[in-house]
Structure 1
Amino acid sequence: MESELKEMQARLETVPRSVLEHVIDVHCHPTDSDMAMTLRVAEQMPIRICAMATRRSDQRLVADLARAHPDKVTPCFGYHPWFAHWIALSPVVSKEEHYRALFLPPSPPPKPDLVAAFERLLPYLPDPTPIADILPELRESLETFPNAMLGEVGIDRACRVPYRRPADPPYSEYAPTHGDEDADGPRSLSPFTIPLEHQLGVLEAQLGLAVELGRNVSLHSVKCQAATGEVLDRMYRKHGERWLRISVDLHSCGLSAQTFRDIAKRHPNVFLSLSTVINARSPAHKDLIAACAPDRILVESDFHDVRCSAPYTWHMLQTIAEVKDWRVEDAWDADAPEDRWGAVRRLEENWRAFERGGHRPYVKRRQRRDRAIEEWEAENSESD
């Protein structure tokens, strides 16, 4: 990994800063690393970033970074599905009752080994926080920053709850990956995953706030292809055109190409972004790039160290350019006509469309035909 990063950084050094200033890393976690270093490095950072919060203790860190570098950092506030079990959807009677309801439902009766695992896990778990306390804090954070997004939020069927107490910042050495190991070696994992129904309750409460405030969303989805489509469909049915006012990015998108096509057809406000650190593990990510409409794709690093944000984002930008057969700019021409745009300009324009929101609903072919007939009949009746 170290040699790979050195190669990426060497490539980046050949790119003019005038080009890099138009690159946007739409999803990263710079506050998971030492904040003194992050604040210092961000000052010289050539690209713009969207910095994600994940749990109650890092919302303030994201706000601090955005205040320090408002021209380079879009703050994103929200609660990640890996920590959804720390949030209670109903009033808390006791810590044990809350977690027992999630991990040891009474029917069918739990096996003795699961009961033993629960008893081992319980001391590591924090007191749950009612969502009634979470949402006002989240609202305040979003309203403090007019350009803030909701993120990182989502659903995840793969992550198992570790035998580990919640860590204090910085988080990078503790953060779980999409598999069963973190970057520094194996972790001790319990057999428990967070029930999807509970994750959806936490997610949809946050999405409701995003719709109300008109804020875009960075959405996590792992091993949840069908459930992701279903939650997007529910939001569209529930909120209608208010849902289309905002944009949703399926970050480090791991959906199949066909699943994304199906979602994109139903949801004109859904984009995808890809990262080298997650998506390049599978050759299928190039099929996903090819399947995505050229105006719905974004790029990210999904990295916890701000020093790696630019090289990893640039690497994925080059991959997208290769698959899409886009040239990569070696100089910046703000007046270039659209047919001469390179990958950086195209992705920047996609980001601007994502930021603006206000997407138009799709009109089915039959509805378009009927509307055209009605307009023709109206024009001809007037001429008669």
Structure 2
Amino acid sequence: MCSPTGEKTQNCKGEDAINEQQAEPFPWRLGAMDAHCHVTDTMPSVARIANMKARVLTIMATRSQDQALVSSVAARQTIRSRADIDATPVESSDKIVPSFGWHPWFSHQFYNDTAGKPTFDSSAENVAEEKARHYAEVLTPAPSADFIASLPVPRPLSSFIAETRSRLDENPVALIGEIGIDKAFRLPQEWSQGEEPERDQNLTPGGREGRLLSPYHVKVPHQVQILEAQLRLAGELGRAVSVHGVQAHGVLFDALASLWKGHEKEVISRRKQRLVAEGAEDFSSSDEDSDDGFPRKQDRANNKPYKPKPFPPRVCLHSFSGPPQMMKQYLSPAIPVRIYFSFSMVVNLSSAGLESKFVDVIKACPDDLLLVESDLHTAGDEMDQVLEKMYRKVCGIKGWALTEGLQRIRKNYEDFIFG
């Protein structure tokens, strides 16, 4: 608030800067990047992508029905290297970075055949009995027989991992996502008689689609198993990951930390740093060159070798809704994963409670780890509008001119995708 005498206080100057920025035309030409969206959930909107002002859309797959859709859209409009972003104008249709993953909302549809005793025996004669056993194991509270009957026969996790590896091999820049943990989500109720034929035919099947929610949750340990298998695949192939976390910040951090345990970076104290003479040659091994026992593979996106590890090289916590204290936990210099934070209008400013802490979270986010996303399910003007609003809000809080902000966030995005 400005002083009643008209004197310019520091806070008032900040408000003036934000007001000036809001009046400034948005510099789309610099490249606005959408770090996370779901346009294949509304396939008719895909035709509008070429006319969008956003330069890059990162399209997430979440379940069985959209894996092939994301792949098909990317095959027609994909970006395959960092150079592709500047090689074509903003109006180009070549603006897709695909991401393949299995969302925690649908994690119950897998049985884990990669470790321990599976909850489903595919060789059993009585499939219905095995199906009931699986869902009784992974859902809580115990599901009714009618609800179990409405669910698909569970798939082996190993088959999905193999399919995803194949899709990633086909696209050198594709991510793994959307994956994660969600304690709040409840499965939608089964379609009641006569409802399913009336569903919106523009929507890709498999989502909630307006159905009421059941009382059933996917047990968190099962969600963690599905998450960790996909994180390991990202580490094997050196791919970035887009992660969902709702009411599960501690569990999510622990799941990630369990994979990098034993591979933490050495944190050199300031005292030890001062003992090294200024300008002295540094003989320590870089992350790329150190001999840590991991075999090298070729990173086709960057045309350089990389080392498969049990954890992904880069993670984006999408629509990050944790407090600044939780963000700081991810910023420990010992963590060998580069953690990014993306923000969307539809999540981060969707309620008064989230909006009240948004400014502090943006201020706490390191400048070089901040991303912007739409998290929308429909391509077109609305997606451009919410991206612009979030870019403007972030730049206003950070004190960046729009030109500076777009350039910074674009570089962050490219570093996240390409390393």
Q: Is the 8 A contact 2:188 2:214 kept in 1?
A: yes
Aligned-residue offset at 1:171: 4.0
Q: Are 1:61 and 2:72 an aligned pair?
A: no
8 Å contact kept, 2:63–2:206:
no
* Correspondence list, 1:250-329, <5 A: 250-265=317-332, 266-267=334-335, 269-281=338-350, 282-283=354-355, 284-307=357-380, 308-329=382-403
CA contact (8 A) 1:154 1:220 kept: yes
Counterpart-to-counterpart distance in 2, 1:79 and 1:12: 41
Q: Report whether the alignment pairs 1:98 with 2:98.
A: no
- Using the TM superposition, name which of 217-226 and 285-294 deviates more: 285-294
Q: Whole-Å Cα distance in 2 between the matches of residues 101 and 55 of structure 1?
A: 20
| Aligned equivalents of 1:271, 1:243: Cα separation in 2 | 19
For the residue of structure 2 that corresponds to 1:142, the secondary structure is helix
Residue 124 of structure 1 corresponds to which residue in structure 2? 150
1:351 counterpart = 2:413: yes
Distance in 2 (CA, whole Å) between partners of 1:328 and 1:25 is 16
The 1-side partners of 2:101 and 2:157 are apart by: 12
Question: d(CA) in 1 for partners of 2:169 and 2:184?
Answer: 33
Contact 1:273 1:298 in 2 (8 A): yes
Pairs within 5 Å for 1:107-146: 118-146=144-172
* CA pair 168-121 structure 1, distance change in 2 beyond 3 A: farther
Structure 1 stretch 205-214 or stretch 165-174: which is displaced more? Answer: 165-174
Cα distance change on mapping 1:67 and 1:318 into 2, 3 Å: same
**Cα pair distance change 1:131/1:168, threshold 3 Å:** farther
Q: Deviations over 1:83-130 (max 9, x none)?
A: 0000111342321111011236xxxxxxxxx55x52231122111011
Residue 172 of structure 1: CA displacement? Answer: 6.7
Per the alignment, residue 216 of structure 1 pairs with: 240
- Counterpart amino acid of residue 103 in structure 1: L
Match of 1:42 in 2: 49
TM-score with structure 1 setting the length: 0.76
Q: Distance in 2 between matches of 1:26 and 1:203?
A: 20
User: Which amino acid in 1 is paired with 2:314?
Assistant: S
* RMSD (CA atoms): 2.5
- Aligned with 2:145: secondary structure? helix
What is aligned with 1:109?
Answer: none
**Which of 211, 228, 233 is the aligned partner of 2:257?**
233
User: Does the residue aligned with 1:161 lie in a helix, a strand or coil?
Assistant: coil
Q: Against the structure 1 CA distance between its residues 17 and 229, is the aligned structure 2 distance closer, same or farther, given a 3 Å change threshold? A: closer
* Secondary structure class of the residue paired with 1:286: helix
**Contiguous gaps of at least 5 residues in structure 1:** 1-10, 105-113, 177-181, 330-341, 358-384
The total of aligned residue pairs comes to: 313
| Structure 2 residue 137 is matched with structure 1 residue 82 | no
Partner AA of 1:287 in structure 2 = D
Distance 1:349 1:154, change over 3 A: same
Percent identity, please. 32
Give 1:196's aligned residue: 220
Deviations 1:154-204 (A, max 9, x none): 00000011113599975479745xxxxx7x5xx422221101100010000
- 30, 38, 42: which one pairs with 1:29? 38
Structure 1 residues 175, 12: closer, same or farther in 2, change over 3 A? farther
Q: Which is further off, 120-129 or 193-202?
A: 120-129
- The residue type equivalent to 1:88 in the other structure is Y
Distance 1:274 1:37 in 2: 23
SS at match of 2:331: helix
**What TM-score does the superposition give when structure 2 sets the normalisation length?**
0.70
Please give the per-residue CA displacement for 1:272-329, whole angstroms capped at 9, x wherever unaligned: 0000001102221222111111111100000000113221111111111111011113
- Offset, 1:37: 3.2
Amino acid at match of 1:131: L
